[in-house]
Chains A and B, each alone.
Chain A
Amino acid sequence: MSQPATQHNKDDVMASPKPSKWQGFLDSDIVHSWKQQPVVIMATLMTLLMFMGALFAPWIAPQNPFDPGQLELIDAFTPPLTTSDFTGNFYLLGSDSQGRDVFSAILYGSRISLLVGFAAVFFALALGTALGLVAGFRGGWRDAIIMRIADVQLTFPSILLALLIFGVIRGFMPGSMHAEVAIIVLIIAIGLSDWVQYARAVRGATMVEKSKEYVQAARVIGLPDIKILFQHILPNVMRPVLVIGTIGLALAIIAEATLSFLGVGMPATQPSLGTLIRVGQDYMFSGEWWILFFPGVALLILALSVNLLGDWLRDVLNPKLR
């Protein structure tokens, strides 16, 4: 009786492997832990909401805040939830000094914030992982140099480093290019200021992995080092990297917002959430509170929920890390 049952199961799996995988995922510890924590569920929903808003900004936003042709100067400083008397446009979260819809600006702004955040984390992750792999696998003077640089860099707070790197890169560029490439310079600055953690984690894990039998076996059959590193060791050291990355995303978003707020990040013509807050600060004293308030709330929700989600993921994936 058991024989046909197994047979049937096998067929089922072969016919449609996805549902069973999905079922396995639903039964996993991760989902179980997720269901039990209302705060995490809330954070997930808010993160998804922000991601969706950023992703589909051109379709959701009532106007394109980057296109001066769509701005109605006569509607400047319309309070939230108001329909303008002049143009009949409805402003959900009010409008700023140029008649820019604050809601649209937030959607497009969080797009830039998230883009910089993800790109910076990816850059730091790739750089840190590569250097960590080399340091752990080859050892010797390469290890010494890489880890010495990492030690030195760790003594400075990363936001200060990002600021200094931004200043130095900008110093080496002609002034006319500053606004155009601001986003790339930001990504490089934040990424460079944050690679050390990845490198340290990967180096430690690589040193453990390289003495295991499967690596020795790969060596015996004569695989080149590069192939062993990237095809055999890399998949086994990725877990701590991904955990650090989820926390790193929140930090990168905050770093970007801080730099933009300080006026050394995204320019006002292409504002991120931090830029919007900097611009809005000027109107705090004159009563137009919404220009500052709503971008601030958006950044707060984004930073807090990504942070909570990252913390939770870290605990689930790797309880030993903290």
Chain B
Amino acid sequence: MLAFFIQRLMQAAFVMLVVALIAFSLFHYVGDPVLNMLGQEATDADRAALRTQLGLDQTILVQFWQFMVSAVQFEFGISYRSARPVSELILERLPATLELAIVSAIFAVVMGIVLGIYTAIQRGNWLSRFIMTASLIGVSLPTFLIGILLIYLFAVELGWLPAFGRGQVVELTSWWDTGLLTTSGLRSIILPAITLGLFQLTLIMRLVRAEMLEVLRTDYIKFARARGLSRRVVNLRHALKNTMVPVITIIGLQLGTIIAFAIITETVFQWPGVGALFITAVRFVDIPVMAAYLMMIALVFVVINLVVDLLYYAVDPRLRVQGGGK
């Protein structure tokens, strides 16, 4: 167990080190931070002073160490574009992204499981066939097209839901403004959440369906039926429970994907989240924001993968035997 854990931890640390190296070289080799911060009018003495202050006169290794130390404290300097601390910019936009990601994950999981069970139990009727075909088309469409389609249908033509923005927000704590407590906020999150969750929904649905079909064929389900248990109990209590292990793994792995794909959804719906911030940063080559986002998203993925790996280890005894045999 310990060896496995350490090995995985080392791998995670290695990934973070590589990403940090990329982020650092972005800082170091792209443009001149001193020029970027001081502008044209500064004197040479000013520049030299700032250079010493930023530690740019140190050796590369010392600079990299300092970069790592401040990165751990979530300090990435000042955004070139908005001249504000990057950590502040990200923190004020993080709640919007997290709310969107959580709502769409719940939507994807609930609808995915329900539709998966339905299409497995009612296999062959026209509705489940329709759902399966629609899911196939949904998977091959780019996310942003689906978003635009939804905006056109529900915002422009029908006028039911807002087409962009987050609606009205209320202050929850000093840094968390939530849109989930106002009517306009709730109405605003519907379309982005559906857009973001649709791909994961189809994935979970297909997985649940396949697993259910597998389980429904097994003997203990036949025996449960023979005992005269109602269909409902057999399907939900006996069959569903055993399909959940792979589904939970997939859901865990997909959480990171949802945060990554939030970039696209946030752009389509002008959602004021971290993803939209990152896209603007790429467009205007705002290195500090890019570097901070790079580190943040890498950390999210590394942590999720680590947790899933360890969960696997806890769930699957075969891994333990293999590890012990070495």
CB pair B141–A304 under 8 Å, yes or no, is yes
Given A152-B18, A262-B279, A296-B148: A171 in contact with B142 (beta carbons within 8 A): no
Q: Within the complex, what minimum Cβ distance (angstroms) separates A6 from chain B?
A: 50
- Does residue A155 face the partner (Cβ distance < 8 Å to B)? yes
Instruction: Mark interface residues in A132-174 (1 if CB within 8 Å of B CB, else 0).
Output: 0000000000000000000010011101100110111011100
Instruction: Mark interface residues in A85-128 (1 if CB within 8 Å of B CB, else 0).
Output: 00000000000000000000000000000000000000000000
CB pair A160–B267 under 8 Å, yes or no, is no
Which residues of A sit under 8 angstroms from B11, Cβ to Cβ? Answer: 152
- Does residue A277 face the partner (Cβ distance < 8 Å to B)? yes
**Docked complex Cα distance between A262 and B18 (Å):** 26
- Does residue B218 face the partner (Cβ distance < 8 Å to A)? no
- Does residue B240 face the partner (Cβ distance < 8 Å to A)? no
Which residues of A sit under 8 angstroms from B148, Cβ to Cβ? Answer: 277, 281, 284, 292, 296
Segment of A44-52, A76-84, A196-204, A250-258 in the binding face: A250-258
Tell me the interface secondary structure of chain B in the complex.
helix
Instruction: Mark interface residues in A232-247 (1 if CB within 8 Å of B CB, else 0).
Output: 0000000000000000
Which residues of A sit under 8 angstroms from B29, Cβ to Cβ? Answer: 172
**Docked complex Cα distance between A322 and B144 (Å):** 28
Given A264-B282, A300-B145, A304-B140: A157 in contact with B260 (beta carbons within 8 A): yes
Given A152-B15, A281-B148: A300 in contact with B141 (beta carbons within 8 A): yes
The B1-58 residues at the A interface (CB cut-off 8 A) are 11, 14-15, 18, 22, 26, 29-30
- Does residue B63 face the partner (Cβ distance < 8 Å to A)? no
- Does residue B237 face the partner (Cβ distance < 8 Å to A)? no
CB pair B145–A175 under 8 Å, yes or no, is no
CB pair A160–B263 under 8 Å, yes or no, is yes
CB pair B26–A171 under 8 Å, yes or no, is yes
**Docked complex Cα distance between A258 and B140 (Å):** 13
**Docked complex Cα distance between A300 and B148 (Å):** 12
Q: Within the complex, what minimum Cβ distance (angstroms) separates B189 from chain A?
A: 20
**Docked complex Cα distance between A257 and B260 (Å):** 17
**Docked complex Cα distance between A159 and B259 (Å):** 12
Instruction: Mark interface residues in B246-289 (1 if CB within 8 Å of A CB, else 0).
Output: 00000000001100110110011000000000010111010100
B15, B142, B282, B290: the one contacting A258 at CB < 8 Å is B142
Given A171-B290, A277-B148: A160 in contact with B260 (beta carbons within 8 A): yes
Which residues of A sit under 8 angstroms from B282, Cβ to Cβ? Answer: 163, 166-167, 170, 264
CB pair A157–B261 under 8 Å, yes or no, is yes
- Does residue B104 face the partner (Cβ distance < 8 Å to A)? no
Q: Within the complex, what minimum Cβ distance (angstroms) separates A182 from chain B?
A: 12
**Docked complex Cα distance between A289 and B156 (Å):** 10
The B270-326 residues at the A interface (CB cut-off 8 A) are 279, 281-283, 285, 287, 290, 294, 297, 301-302, 305
**Docked complex Cα distance between A308 and B149 (Å):** 21
CB pair A159–B261 under 8 Å, yes or no, is yes
B140, B143, B279, B290: the one contacting A263 at CB < 8 Å is B279
Q: Within the complex, what minimum Cβ distance (angstroms) separates A288 from chain B?
A: 12
B18, B142, B281: the one contacting A299 at CB < 8 Å is B142
Which residues of A sit under 8 angstroms from B285, Cβ to Cβ? Answer: 167, 170-171, 175
CB pair A254–B163 under 8 Å, yes or no, is no
Which residues of A sit under 8 angstroms from B223, Cβ to Cβ? Answer: none
- Does residue B137 face the partner (Cβ distance < 8 Å to A)? yes
Given A262-B263, A262-B267: A157 in contact with B142 (beta carbons within 8 A): no
Instruction: Mark interface residues in A264-294 (1 if CB within 8 Å of B CB, else 0).
Output: 1000000000000100010011000100100
Which residues of B sit under 8 angstroms from A155, Cβ to Cβ? Answer: 15, 301-302, 305
CB pair A307–B140 under 8 Å, yes or no, is yes
**Docked complex Cα distance between A254 and B143 (Å):** 9
**Docked complex Cα distance between A175 and B256 (Å):** 32
CB pair A303–B26 under 8 Å, yes or no, is no
- Does residue B152 face the partner (Cβ distance < 8 Å to A)? yes
- Does residue A261 face the partner (Cβ distance < 8 Å to B)? yes
Which residues of B sit under 8 angstroms from A164, Cβ to Cβ? Answer: 294
- Does residue B194 face the partner (Cβ distance < 8 Å to A)? no
CB-CB nearest in chain B for A174: B31
Q: Which among B18, B137, B152, B281 has the greatest number of chain A C-beta atoms within 10 A?
A: B152
Q: Within the complex, what minimum Cβ distance (angstroms) separates B282 from chain A?
A: 4
CB pair A156–B301 under 8 Å, yes or no, is yes
CB-CB nearest in chain A for B305: A155
CB-CB nearest in chain B for A286: B156
Q: Within the complex, what minimum Cβ distance (angstroms) separates B317 from chain A?
A: 24
**Docked complex Cα distance between A292 and B302 (Å):** 38
Q: Which among A171, A257, A289 has the greatest number of chain B C-beta atoms within 10 A?
A: A171
Which residues of A sit under 8 angstroms from B117, Cβ to Cβ? Answer: none
**Docked complex Cα distance between A258 and B156 (Å):** 22
Besides A152-B18, A163-B263, A171-B26, 12 new A-B residue pairs in contact (Cβ under 8 A), listed by A number:
A156-B260, A157-B257, A167-B281, A168-B26, A170-B285, A171-B30, A175-B285, A258-B264, A285-B156, A296-B145, A303-B142, A304-B141
> A interface vs B, CB < 8 Å?
152, 155-157, 159-160, 163-164, 166-168, 170-172, 175, 250, 254, 257-258, 261-264, 277, 281, 284-285, 289, 292, 296, 299-300, 303-304, 307-308
15 A-B pairs with C-beta separation under 8 A: A155-B15, A157-B257, A163-B263, A167-B282, A168-B26, A172-B26, A254-B142, A262-B263, A262-B264, A262-B279, A263-B283, A264-B283, A281-B148, A284-B151, A303-B142
Q: Top 7 A-B pairs ranked by shortest CB distance?
A: A167-B282, A160-B260, A307-B140, A171-B30, A254-B142, A261-B144, A157-B260
